[in-house]
């Protein structure tokens, strides 16, 4: 191959220059340089300002020939070319050469675009946790084909084989702050969707969620399935249990598939709905179902156990369930959970 290159370079100075450019960018790709380094190297090679803008970030990188950030553009780009990945345009590369373009500028930009697409696929376009909601929706939608989902994941910075957990979040805090706390080791991306925030992360630290956040964590695997499970887990969250992993629900997750009409027709659920009008009774029942113990429920409620016993006796009458029996406790817990899923 080298011998062929030498013979070709001797035919024409243009061919010699083109081959040198190709070899230059092949070396950069082999060294796995990132996008910023590519722009810096290109500006030095072209001896003029070089720039790249990726659609995933919207931020332009412009570098002068000396390797420093270029000042504000005083003239339009002299030559431009799209950056494509898997036949999708993901950005633009350009040169800002004063006067007429160089004969080799087109080749230089073509190779820069190829190297930039390789770097984006390897490292992702940004180091921020916020992402384009359209890309996130493409990843988690059940209607997306696998090729489109894979492209979107690459554009978001996830490698082909990295596990992706999806988290559904209800919070007043900024999503990017939450994402950084639960996955301090990137990559992690987040975006607000119609009614809930979505976070995509390679790992999720359950202890990292700040106070005031409700979150459902989906299992790994297909992102669309993980998103569905994260939304289901979010429905099971409570003030006492603000973060729920779908894997921890087990058979309880089946309750989420029961319709509202079917739930309302159940006598136990209807009885819980009546209790819900009294916040103290509802809190007492919740604490007792969560602990299965009168004394532990009293500790949670910061009450004397005799006070809790009196409340539970009245609640048992409304429910028409013997709460001191294991079967009765199970009925009450299921009814409370079913009521919460639709009305809580």
Tokens found for residue 22 = 């190709």
Question: CA angle at residue 17 from 13 to 23, to 5 degrees?
Answer: 145
Average pLDDT of the segment spanning 114-122:
87
Superfamily of domain 258-342: PucR C-terminal helix-turn-helix domain (1.10.10.2840)
What is the average pLDDT value for the chain, to the nearest integer? 86
At 172-224, the pLDDT tens digits run: 888 888 988 898 766 788 888 878 999 998 889 989 999 999 999 998 778 99
SS3 content of the chain, % helix, strand, coil (to 5): 50, 15, 35
Element (H, E) at 319: helix 305-319
pLDDT the model gives residue 186:
65
* DSSP track, 255-308: GGGS-HHHHHT-HHHHHHHHHTTSHHHHHHHHHHHHHS-HHHHHHHHTS-HHHH
Sheet holding 79-85, edge to edge: 60-63, 49-54, 88-96, 79-85
- Cα(112)–Cα(81) distance, integer angstroms: 9
Asked if the 2-123 domain carries CATH number 3.30.450, the reply is: yes
State the Cα torsion 173-174-175-177 to the nearest 10°: -90
**Does residue 161 surpass a pLDDT of 70?**
yes
pLDDT the model gives residue 240:
87
Question: What residue spans define the domains of the chain?
Answer: 2-123, 133-256, 258-342
At 303-332, the pLDDT tens digits run: 898 888 899 899 989 989 999 899 999 999
């Amino acid at each position: 191959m080298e011998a062929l290159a030498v013979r070709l370079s001797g035919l024409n100075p243009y061919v010699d220059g083109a081959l040198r450019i190709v070899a230059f960018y092949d070396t950069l790709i082999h060294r796995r340089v990132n996008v910023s380094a590519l722009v810096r190297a290109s500006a030095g090679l072209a001896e003029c300002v070089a720039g790249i803008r990726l659609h995933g970030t919207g931020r332009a990188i412009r570098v002068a020939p000396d390797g420093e950030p270029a000042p504000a553009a005083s003239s339009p780009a002299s030559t431009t070319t799209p950056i494509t990945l898997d036949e999708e345009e993901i950005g633009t590369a350009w040169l800002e050469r004063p006067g007429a373009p160089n004969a080799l500028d087109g080749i230089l930009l073509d190779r820069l675009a190829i190297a930039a697409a390789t770097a984006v696929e390897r490292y992702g376009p940004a180091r921020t946790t916020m992402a384009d909601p359209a890309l996130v929706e493409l990843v988690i939608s059940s209607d997306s084909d696998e090729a489109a989902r894979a492209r979107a994941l690459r554009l978001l910075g996830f490698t082909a084989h990295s596990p992706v957990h999806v988290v559904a979040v209800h919070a007043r805090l900024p999503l990017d702050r939450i994402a950084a706390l639960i996955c301090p080791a990137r990559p992690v991306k987040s975006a607000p969707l119609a009614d809930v925030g979505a976070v995509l992360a390679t790992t999720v630290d359950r202890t990292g969620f700040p106070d005031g956040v409700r979150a459902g964590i989906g299992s790994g695997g297909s992102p669309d399935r993980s998103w569905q499970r994260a939304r289901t887990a979010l429905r099971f969250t409570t003030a006492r249990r603000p973060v729920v992993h779908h894997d921890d629900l087990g058979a309880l997750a089946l309750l989420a598939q029961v319709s509202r009409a079917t739930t309302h027709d159940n006598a136990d659920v209807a009885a819980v709905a009546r209790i819900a009008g009294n916040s103290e009774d509802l809190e007492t029942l919740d604490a007792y179902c969560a602990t299965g113990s009168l004394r532990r429920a009293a500790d949670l409620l910061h009450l004397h156990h005799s006070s809790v016993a009196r409340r539970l006796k009245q609640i048992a009458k409304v429910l028409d369930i013997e709460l001191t029996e294991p079967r009765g406790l199970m009925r009450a817990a299921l009814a409370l959970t079913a009521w919460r899923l639709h009305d809580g």
